[in-house]
């Protein structure tokens, strides 16, 4: 439960978190309750997008588990509508080479980033879904491919026009009548 009165905020943002929720209905109802009129923007990725990450080449079991825990965009939109939001649109996001944040695919153009255990520790897929054996094996192969230059071939294999992530934009058009 969000500790806020009804209709308190003009909008809300959820960044790379919905895959950690056991259920989307209650959190989305709470966001709807605390927004007066305004937008709810969710930054997430879809299983289809994640299947095109080159990380699948090195950490296939972790990536499969990551895809499996990620709700489909269709499902996210349906739950948003169910709790009262109107879907405004979807906007894909492509990782850029100069990105300064650390999340699952933020190293798309910086493969060496994944060799750093501190970086991996801050990425939930590595921290919660990968075995130590898969991390060691994947990092060993990744290191070799970076050193040999083969990594460029791997990156080229995993191009996609689906985007790397997606913004789901929903809107609440009237004040909450929830008590």
- Position 179 in a domain: no
- Position 56 in a domain: yes
First and final C-alpha spacing in the chain: 13
The total domain count for the chain is 1
The tens digit of pLDDT for each residue in 153-163 reads 999 999 999 99
* pLDDT at 176 > cutoff 60: no
- Please tell me the predicted confidence (pLDDT) of residue 175: 62
- Position 3 in a domain: no
Q: Tell me, what CATH number does 141's domain have? A: 3.40.50.150
Instruction: Count CB-CB contacts under 10 A for residue 52.
Output: 16
- At residue 32, the 3 state secondary structure works out as helix
- Position 16 in a domain: yes
- Position 4 in a domain: no
Mean pLDDT of the 123-143 span: 98
* pLDDT at 178 > cutoff 90: no
The tens digit of pLDDT for each residue in 69-127 reads 999 999 999 999 999 999 999 999 999 998 888 899 999 999 999 999 999 999 999 99
Separation of alpha carbons 31 and 115, rounded Å: 37
- Position 17 in a domain: yes
Separation of alpha carbons 4 and 2, rounded Å: 6
Helix (H) or strand (E) holding 37: strand 35-44
- Position 177 in a domain: no
Tell me if 126 sits within 8 A of 62, measured CB to CB: yes
The pTM for the full model equals 0.93
Provide the residue range defining the domain that includes 87: 9-172
- Position 84 in a domain: yes
């Amino acid at each position: 439960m969000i500790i806020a009165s009804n209709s308190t905020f003009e909008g809300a943002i959820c960044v790379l978190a919905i895959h950690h929720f056991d259920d989307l209905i209650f959190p989305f109802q709470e966001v709807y309750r605390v927004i007066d009129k305004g937008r709810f923007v969710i930054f997430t990725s879809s299983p289809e997008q994640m299947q095109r990450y080159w990380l699948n080449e090195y950490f296939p079991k972790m990536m499969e588990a990551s895809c499996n825990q990620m709700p489909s965009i269709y499902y996210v939109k349906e739950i948003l509508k169910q709790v009262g939001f109107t879907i405004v649109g979807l906007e894909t996001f492509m990782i850029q080479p100069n990105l300064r944040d650390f999340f699952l695919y933020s190293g798309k153009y910086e493969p060496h980033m994944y060799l750093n255990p501190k970086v991996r520790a801050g990425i939930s897929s590595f921290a919660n879904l990968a075995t130590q054996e898969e991390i060691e094996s994947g990092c060993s192969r990744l290191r070799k491919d970076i050193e040999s230059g083969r990594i460029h071939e791997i990156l080229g294999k995993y191009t996609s026009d689906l985007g790397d992530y997606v913004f789901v934009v929903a809107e609440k058009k009237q004040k909450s009548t929830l008590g």
